[in-house]
A and B are shown apart, each in its own frame.
Chain A
Amino acid sequence: MTAVDAMAPWLAQTDVQPLLRWEWVTDNLDEIVTRGAQHFWLTAVSVVVALVIAFPLAVLAQRRRWVIQPITWVSSVLYTIPALALISLLLPITGLSLTTVAIPLISYNLLILFRNTLAGLDGIDGDVVEAARGMGLTERQLLGRVRIPMAMPVIIAGIRIATVSSIGLVTIAALIGRGGFGQFILLGLNTFFWTALVVGVILSVAFAFAADLLLLGIQRWATPWTRAAGVRAVGT
């Protein structure tokens, strides 16, 4: 018996079913909320932890240029390893735990956040730095009062990219039952059930856009000068 024959009953069903059965959505509201919370926390943890690691490294790299090369090299290699492979490699070590999913997500965000933060800190007009030094600011004050605030638009742009990417990647974790909305995508795929697939895709994409808009709003609010002067933040 071929695979096609084995799936014949399912295939017959796919011909008649609608794209979205609302009663399935209302019946599974609890599950949708639970998976949404899972998706949110995985994303939040992976972005925040990556930022906590990448931010100090970028600040260090801004002063000590030699650390850029090794950090970029390590994070680039991590970035190249597919999430599916990294999750599977971690399986014997960390099992089906949250850590197994969080480590790949964090490692991807590291590269994005490190490079954006460094680009933001580096991208400040030399005259501004000169003026700040002329006013008697120490290097530490220069960092806290000039560099970091002025780098904010680029740093937050990096956070937006990391967040949107992470939300998409979390779905891969469906393989070990921690995929958030991705669990519905996998369910729909395995049972040829369009409603679950459509719900999973729409909620995941909607979550990504909502998070992106929220972060854009935070960036506008935190750096009012970028809109007042009509300065176009890089990447928006």
Chain B
Amino acid sequence: MSGFLEGLQWLVANEHWSGSDGIPHRVWEHVQVSLIALVIAAAVAVPVGLWVGHTRRGQFITVQLSNIGRAIPSLAVLSIAFLLAVKLSPTLAFGFPPVVVALIILAIPVILINTYVGIQQVDADTVEAARGMGMSGWQILFDIELPLAAPLILTGLRLSAVLIVATAGLWALTAGGALGRYIVDGFALQETDRVVAGAILIALLAICVDALFTVLTRILTPRQRSRSAAEPGRLERPPA
């Protein structure tokens, strides 16, 4: 337990709260890359997932993408993105672009499969009734399917947000910044308190993001309980 206490002491020490290696700056870096990646990934994956669920086209690819996504190590995606970026433009490689691209690639399958399954699970009779009432395809999608699929779509966003925050912690391994910096530097300097402090910060951030999305889901879908899928775990990916 002493290691944990030393980590806490490191966290509250004044000198670690300022400068470019200070906690506020590292947290901000972490939040920035995560937010950029999440917004772009959602902007791509939610519409595609809606389309796949509504038209029932590309279902096989969507399911396979999520299966393959789980098998590919996040460290691998990050490393490949970084080395490719180094090859293309060394100055770009040491900034946001490679890590953001890697995070987007990792998050897309998770959002995609949840959005698709959410739409696909909407009762066929409900959709049939809406069609019988003369609703157009767009109306069915936005007035019927989207609200009913909302809990699962939000679950996908929550899971991918946690995955992104976790993987952004690995950014430091590719000469990047954010909170993983403390863990990687702590290892290099053999300062366990720094490692533990970084770990506490990353864990806290992940738990906060998870809680934030849980609250958001409750507010946006007050009367619906987020249904668990037929086979739990199929729609997820453990955070790296």
Binding site for B on A (CB under 8 A): 3-4, 7, 11, 14-15, 77, 79-89, 91-93, 108, 111-112, 115-116, 119, 154, 157-158, 161-162, 164-165, 167-169, 171-172, 174-175, 182, 185-186, 188-189, 192, 194, 197, 200-201, 204-205, 208-209, 212, 234-235
Contacts and interface: CB of A to CB of B under 8 A. Distances in A.
B31 interface: no
Nearest to B2: A92
Contacts of B91: 4
Nearest to B90: A4
A201 B228 contact: no
B51 interface: no
Contact of A186 (B75, B183, B198, B228): B75
A233 B87 CA distance: 45
Q: Decide if the interface of chain B is mainly helix, strand, loop or mixed.
A: helix
Interface string B197-240: 01110110011001000000000000000001011111011111
Given A85-B198, A175-B187, 10 more contacts: A4-B94, A7-B90, A88-B186, A92-B4, A158-B231, A185-B73, A188-B83, A192-B83, A205-B72, A208-B71
Given A7-B90, A89-B4, A171-B75, A84 B231 contact: no
A190 to B, nearest CB: 8
Contacts of B7: 92
Given A88-B198, A115-B232, A119-B231, A192 B74 contact: no
Interface stretch (B41-49, B119-127, B172-180): B172-180
Contacts of A119: 228, 230-232
Contacts of A81: 203, 206-207, 239
